Chain A
Amino acid sequence: MIPPIINVKDIGYIYPDGNEALNKVSFNVSRNEAFGIIGPNGAGKSTLLQLLIGILIPRSGEIKIEGMPVDKKNLALIRKKTGLLFHNPDDQLFCPTVRDDIAFGPRNMGLNNDEIEICVSQAMEASGTGHLSHRPPYTLSGGEKKAVALACILSMQPEILLMDETSANLDPGSRRQLITVINTLSQTKIIVSHDLDFIWETCSRVMILNKGSITAAGETGLILSDRFLLEHNNLELPLRLQGCPVCGSYTVRG
């Protein structure tokens, strides 16, 4: 049996103000799997992503990435293998030009100029951001910023991608483009989102997190079609399963 690339066991996290964000959360993610995490606001989804990449350290339990515990000793290696796409791309883009921003990670990895150039070009190609290379990030639209933020992560050639509310604030065209890009990426992906249609199209397995605990996990189709389970967790059926308000018919795609 192939060991999971991400192994989370009984982790708990309490914020300094006493708010318990996660309680005994355990799950595994296989290599190249696309795994969705859904849940209401304040469920602990973003906290969980920050724990996976070592921005936060769990109060209890253990997280292993490729068998390595996420601790201070392994942090540099884990951050090479794992890329986190932040909820707000403005938090992620801080260099004068798009190219500089995409090259930031490879430069920190100690690559030489030629290697950096290759990484940057490949990341721009994969994310479709080549035409933006000399633009300052603050002049980009929301969709372009998200695509550039993704390129910044891809340029480090991570094995695992963590995405926090990636589809939020995108127009339908940019959202569709993002779904296409994500589905072409072969890396292991953990996608946190409230956009259940987005999860439907990008993830094969999904987990519901509510008040810091897992309330359900399983195949995307099964979980996302369970109206009672979703409503119990302050969610609702994906739009594609809600049927036409006029004739009541369904169109299921993806």
Chain B
Amino acid sequence: MRNPRGAIRQIELLSLKNTFVHRIKPLQQFIVTLVFILIITSFDQYSVSQMLPMLLYPAVIIVLGEIPLRFIIRTILPVIPLIILFAIANAFFDKSEWVLLSGVTISAGWISALALVLRSLMTMTAILSFIATAGMNGLFSALEKLKIPDFFITLLAFTFRYIHLLMEEAGHIIRAYRLRSPGQEGISFQNWGPLAGQWFIRSYRRAERIHSAMLCRGLSEKIHQNYHDRAKLVDLTWIFFWCGYFILCRLFPIPLLLSKVTIGTGI
């Protein structure tokens, strides 16, 4: 199982790179990701081939943003069983028949299951790629520019920082426990209560100290995000290019058209 603290730190480290994608302003990246998700979710439940060209967006971000594919897979991995469970349930409930071009008839449920898996994976990859290139601070500054209420952004920022802190404290407690319980597998049941209590108290006190440090450095009602300068031509081109491409993918069956052009028949 992946260490969540390690995943958070890796996201932060990845967001510090200086690639072409990292230099795109967070707001523009956020808008493109949002449009991508909206378009992906708007596809018909049986549109598998029509959705495939949308893969280009996460693929480009991963390559240009130098995001290790291993990181994406490892982060998504814990959720995959849940997606597959939903997809299989879908296959059993949808019993209508679906005829493939080759003449083979299969249950439409399996097509929609495949579409569901594809949709979920592409959405999660796009979100992860956004966070890994813009960083959490990028997300907060994008939300601030979109005039999302300060209260909501501050809550989100504190929650993120608090998760970090919870993980750190849990790491310290578990390490101290393991060092004094050699040869023991996991944490014994009777220690769960005291350790959870300790975890809560320690995290709470630490959070209080960090909050005091923030107050001492002038924190008022909201956390001021790191504003970058105004959007440049490249940022606007980024939005128009990708949104245009997504709309094309949504309106026209690109794989069908391509196969007609190249081999003279549809898929």
Chain A nearest CB: distance from B140 CB in Å? 11
Question: Which of B135, B161, B215 has the most chain A CB within a 10 Å cutoff?
Answer: B215
Which residues of chain B are within 8 angstroms of A79 by Cβ–Cβ distance?
215-218
Taken together as a complex, chains A and B put the C-alpha atoms of A136 and B216 apart, in Å, by: 21
Which residues of chain A are within 8 angstroms of B206 by Cβ–Cβ distance?
91
What sequence of 0s and 1s flags, for each residue 139-173 of chain A, a beta carbon within 8 Å of any chain B beta carbon?
Answer: 00000000000001100100000000000000000
> A96, B12: Cβ atoms under 8 Å?
yes
Closest to B209 in A: A91
Which residues of chain A are within 8 angstroms of B135 by Cβ–Cβ distance?
96
Which of under 10, 10 to 19, 20 to 34, or 35 or more describes the interface residues of B? 20 to 34
Taken together as a complex, chains A and B put the C-alpha atoms of A136 and B13 apart, in Å, by: 8
Tell me the A96-143 residues at the B interface (CB within 8 Å).
Answer: 96-97, 100, 103-105, 107-109, 113, 134, 136, 138
> B137, A105: Cβ atoms under 8 Å?
no
> A100, B16: Cβ atoms under 8 Å?
no
Taken together as a complex, chains A and B put the C-alpha atoms of A83 and B15 apart, in Å, by: 30
Which residues of chain A are within 8 angstroms of B210 by Cβ–Cβ distance?
91-92, 94
What sequence of 0s and 1s flags, for each residue 203-216 of chain B, a beta carbon within 8 Å of any chain A beta carbon?
Answer: 00010011011111
> A136, B218: Cβ atoms under 8 Å?
no
CB of A13 within 8 Å of the partner chain: no
Complex interface: stretch among B20-28, B224-232, B259-267? B224-232
Assuming the A-B contacts A108-B219, A136-B13, A138-B9, are A113 and B213 also in contact, with contact meaning beta carbons closer than 8 angstroms in the complex?
no
Taken together as a complex, chains A and B put the C-alpha atoms of A153 and B216 apart, in Å, by: 9
Chain A nearest CB: distance from B175 CB in Å? 16
Contact of A136 (CB < 8 Å), options: B16, B161, B220: B16
Assuming the A-B contacts A107-B224, A136-B13, are A100 and B137 also in contact, with contact meaning beta carbons closer than 8 angstroms in the complex?
yes
> A109, B218: Cβ atoms under 8 Å?
yes
CB of B87 within 8 Å of the partner chain: no
Taken together as a complex, chains A and B put the C-alpha atoms of A53 and B215 apart, in Å, by: 10
Taken together as a complex, chains A and B put the C-alpha atoms of A50 and B208 apart, in Å, by: 13
> A100, B226: Cβ atoms under 8 Å?
yes
Tell me the A30-50 residues at the B interface (CB within 8 Å).
Answer: 50
Closest to B15 in A: A96
Assuming the A-B contacts A91-B206, A94-B161, A136-B9, are A113 and B227 also in contact, with contact meaning beta carbons closer than 8 angstroms in the complex?
yes
Taken together as a complex, chains A and B put the C-alpha atoms of A121 and B229 apart, in Å, by: 18
Assuming the A-B contacts A79-B215, A79-B218, A108-B219, are A86 and B226 also in contact, with contact meaning beta carbons closer than 8 angstroms in the complex?
no
> B227, A53: Cβ atoms under 8 Å?
no
Closest to B216 in A: A84
Closest to A107 in B: B224
12 contacts between A and B (CB under 8 A): A55-B215, A76-B220, A79-B216, A79-B218, A84-B213, A91-B210, A91-B212, A104-B217, A107-B224, A108-B218, A109-B218, A156-B218
